[in-house]
Structure formats: C-alpha cells, structure tokens
Amino acid sequence: MKYLAIVGTNSDVSTNRMLLQFMQKHFSSEAEIELYEIKDLPAFMEPEDSEVPEKVEELSEKILNADGVIIATPEYDHAIPAVLKSALEWISYTSQALTDKPVLIVGASHGTLGSSRAQAHLRQILDSPELAARIMPSSEFLLGKSQAAFDNAGDLIYPDKLAELDEIFREFVLFTDITMKLLAEKVQKKSAKKFTWQE
C-alpha cells in the first residue's frame, strides 16, 4: 500500500509529526508512507481568476496517487487547527481528491485525551458531500501525554499504545484493500449499465 500521511499542523515542533514519522519507519515493511507538510499551503480563499495555487495542485496530485490517506491532527480549542481546515477547504473547492479515498485519523496531544474532540470534528468535515472520504469506522488512535511518548530515536515507548497502533494500522491496510475492491466493482457495474435507449 502507498499512503500519504498529512501532518495536520503548521507548528515546527509537533508530536503529531513525530507520530507519523514513527509510523513511516515502523510500518515500512507493510506500506510506503510519505509525509506531507501543509504549513506551506496558502490560506484558503476563493481565487478570483480560478487559478489553483501550485501547492494545492501538488497536494491534490499526491492524494489522488495514494491508495489511502493518514491524517494526524492536534486539538486546538476542541477542534482541528485552522491550517488543516484550510487545506481541506482547498481540496473540497478544487479537485475533490478525497472523494472515496480511504482515510485513517490519528492524533496526539500533551494532555490525556489525545485529540479526541478534534478527531470527531475531522470526521464530520471529511464526511461532508464535497469531501466524501471513506473514513475507517470504529477506529480512534489517541496518543495522550505525547511529550513523553517518544525516546531519543523517535520510537513510541508506550507498549499499550504501540500494540493499539499495530492493530489499527493492520485494520486500515485491510480496509483500504476492501474499499479499493468495492470501488472497482462499483465502476464496472456503472460502466456496464444500459440506458433506456440501448435496450
């Protein structure tokens, strides 16, 4: 599997980035995970000339070429960061590249709740008609007390959380595979459909 992992913050120091970097290394034998920074994207605004910024086109292309997307979000005031909302608005307004794309949401926070409210907020956004992502159900990876969660090598040191992450990622690979097969079937049925004037 080939996944695009979106760092959902513009902060230079982030345990959400560290979580994705660990996942990239830890699951390297199971999947190719590419990290993507959204901090260089312009803030969303409807362009007067309909010109899509180059960075937005780049993100859209990477999403389209990936088998699935992993988004790591911190929690700011019970919600996702403005920079992540802005990136999703660009995708919604332009390419709609997340439509039917398998998505796994993870999150880390310095507190004990591990971005639970932000993850719920992100699910709502991704479920909107203009984004229409395929979010893996019944999955929630919440990494609380994240400042102490990684050692100097960047490895996750909480054994219970490591076991949980392993299980969720295996499920996501399976979910991606099933989703791709279902969508391929859907396309075949759609292309095989006869219209009234063909009967």
CA pair distance 11, 61, nearest whole angstrom: 24
- Return the SS3 of 110: coil
Distance of CA 166 to the CA centre of its chain: 17
**Is 141 within 8 Å of 106 (Cβ atoms)?**
yes
CA pair distance 49, 28, nearest whole angstrom: 42
Instruction: Name the DSSP class of 109.
Output: -
Q: Which domains does the chain have, with CATH numbers?
A: 2-198 (3.40.50.360)
Residue-wise pLDDT tens for the chain (199 aa)?
999 999 999 999 999 999 999 999 999 999 999 999 999 999 998 877 778 999 999 999 999 999 999 999 999 989 999 999 999 999 999 999 999 999 999 999 998 888 999 999 999 999 999 999 999 998 889 999 999 999 999 999 999 999 999 999 999 999 999 999 999 887 655 544 443 434 4
CA pair distance 10, 168, nearest whole angstrom: 26
CA pair distance 135, 3, nearest whole angstrom: 14
CA pair distance 106, 24, nearest whole angstrom: 13
Query: How far is CA 2 from each of CA 35, 68, 84, 163, rounded to the nearest angstrom?
Result: 11, 7, 21, 22
Please state whether the predicted TM-score (pTM) of the whole model is above 0.85: yes
Q: Of 88, 108, 106, 105, give the one whose Cα is nearest residue 97.
A: 88
- Return the SS3 of 5: strand
Distance of CA 184 to the CA centre of its chain: 21
